[in-house]
Structure 1
Amino acid sequence: MILRLAEEERLSGAVVHGNLVYLAGQVADDATLDTEGQTADVLAQIDALLAVAGTSKENLLSVQIILADIRDAPAMNRAWDKWLDPASKPARMTIQAPLVNPAWRVEITGIAALS
């Protein structure tokens, strides 16, 4: 069975299949925030999607973070470190790439196990 959550015009915010939850790339609802603020916004969206799917950040297996400017990594990491459960760190990569909206500073996607 495949369950699609938070469907939009072109994508689902998350897809549940088997024991896994696949997150679409999440971007800030408020693009006027700085990188730390946008990251916190995105992480709150991830918390909400995982809750709807029946899991939580403690079950994240891997996360991919895309920054519009890699020099924003320290600001992104400040929000990440506040949010992260140190006992449940996922595998993670961070890269720089242009994002669709130039006002977006960060996009995050990942895969989580169901609880």
Structure 2
Amino acid sequence: MSTIERLETGQRMSQAVIHNGTVFLAGQVGAPGESVTAQTEAILKGIEKLLAEAGSDPTRILQATIWLADMDDFAEMNAVWDAWVPEGHAPTRACGESKLATPDFKVEIIVVAAQE
């Protein structure tokens, strides 16, 4: 039986789960009420931190799912995302519109990555 490692585990969820060399991150959000740019920047910093804890990094991201509260914010979020993704390492990606946990959240990002 293969092992499952959980990072930053609480009652409801873990922020990261590692299984068979694959890192699954929970949906990451920024500070409520901040701009789309500020939330996206904070989310990506949080993703970098969790991936590092899991033995991975942004060049190892396999898939990203991005939820926006309003698709009108697509270009603003993409400006931050495009500057952050390491050149030549763009993952598969989907982006859609959804109501998030509270109206103060404008962006949520979920990633799956390979360990190093």
Which amino acid letter does the alignment assign opposite residue 50 of structure 2? L
Q: For residues 109 and 86 of structure 1, what CA distance do their matches in structure 2 show?
A: 20
> Aligned pair count?
114
| Candidates 4, 7, 10, aligned match of 1:8 | 10
Match of 1:99 in 2: 100
Q: Quick check: 1:26–1:108 contact (8 Å CA) kept in 2?
A: yes
CA RMSD of aligned residues (A): 0.8
1:15-58 Cα shifts (integer Å, max 9, x gaps): 00011000110111x21310011001000000000000001010
Contact 1:37 1:79 in 2 (8 A): no
Aligned to 2:84: 83
Q: Which residue of 2 aligns with 1:62?
A: 63
Instruction: Provide the identity percentage.
Output: 38
Question: 1:9 offset after TM fit, Å?
Answer: 3.0
Structure 2: where are the runs of 5+ without partners?
A: none
After superposition, what is the alpha-carbon deviation per residue over 1:48-85, rounded to whole angstroms, capped at 9, x for unaligned?
00000001010000000000000100110111012110
* 1:39 partnered with 2:46: no
| Counterpart position of 1:20 | 22
TM-score by length of 2: 0.95
Structure 1 residue ranges without an equivalent (≥5)? none
For normalisation by structure 1, the TM-score amounts to 0.96
